Structure 1
């Protein structure tokens, strides 16, 4: 499996994969328009010419980015692709000088294994005022906010140990 920058040709498969989990209530849906407008933020995991995973790194502020729409095809789960995609995006965030990477998730165990820590949502005002305020789940959000600190000692991304 390979991870690469998403292209416009990938959007239909990306949207289908994201919608699969949105239909189950596990993530918010993404319109084709939203994916095209934010395509530069997304990577895809491919296997045998198929999109089997995707996620985006959306910059919210000078010190905060968010991993969005992490989806791995059900047939490919358990093979490390989700971990590799997240590590790739963490490496991108670190290279950009972004200190914190956020995930609003139901998959707390997965993100905890990657070094994310649970935080209170109110500690993330740039996320709340930019996106959450307009979300249909705003009054009853049941996702857990987790943050990864790219500058922490022994931060791990792209399969390597970052310099402290």
Structure 2
């Protein structure tokens, strides 16, 4: 298995993953435009040159980053790919000297297995919510906030 930073040629596959899970109400949808704008945040997981998982690490502030758009092909789930992506993002945050990482998720038990703690969304700084205003689920967000302090 290979974890690598995403390339322009990966956008359609990333969009396909996110759209598939968004249509199942398991994550929030993302436009192609937003994926192009955030391409450098994305990491993909490959098995035999096929992308089987995606996700991104979005920097919020000097001390805070968010894991976003984490998705693994259903036929590859429960094989450590999601965990591998999370570990890659944690390592990236440590390299960038960002001590805190969070996610807003419908899959809180998965993140708890990765060492995150559930927190009240209201405990996150207001900077986190700048994109929420454009979300179709705003203000009735059902995502759970998970948070992890990293050892820098």
Report if TM-score (shorter chain) is over 0.5: yes
Q: Please, which runs of 5 or more residues in structure 1 have no aligned partner?
A: 152-163
What's the counterpart of residue 154 of structure 1? none
Shift of 1:123: 1.4
Q: Deviations over 1:80-122 (max 9, x none)?
A: 0000000000110111111111110111111001110111111
Q: Please, which runs of 5 or more residues in structure 2 have no aligned partner?
A: none
Shift of 1:133: 2.8
Give TM-score, length-normalised by structure 2. Answer: 0.95
What's the counterpart of residue 103 of structure 2? 103
Question: How far apart, CA to CA, are the structure 2 residues paired with 1:72 and 1:86?
Answer: 12
What's the counterpart of residue 140 of structure 2? 140
What's the counterpart of residue 158 of structure 1? none
What's the counterpart of residue 83 of structure 2? 83
What's the counterpart of residue 126 of structure 1? 127
What's the counterpart of residue 43 of structure 1? 43
Question: How far apart, CA to CA, are the structure 1 residues paired with 2:64 and 2:137?
Answer: 22
Question: How far apart, CA to CA, are the structure 1 residues paired with 2:147 and 2:135?
Answer: 20
SS at match of 2:29: coil
What's the counterpart of residue 28 of structure 2? 28
What's the counterpart of residue 19 of structure 2? 19
Give TM-score, length-normalised by structure 1. Answer: 0.89
Runs of 4+ in 1 over 6 A off after TM superposition: none
Shift of 1:134: 2.7
SS at match of 1:131: helix
User: How many residue pairs are counted as aligned between the two chains?
Assistant: 151
Question: How far apart, CA to CA, are the structure 2 residues paired with 1:30 and 1:51?
Answer: 18
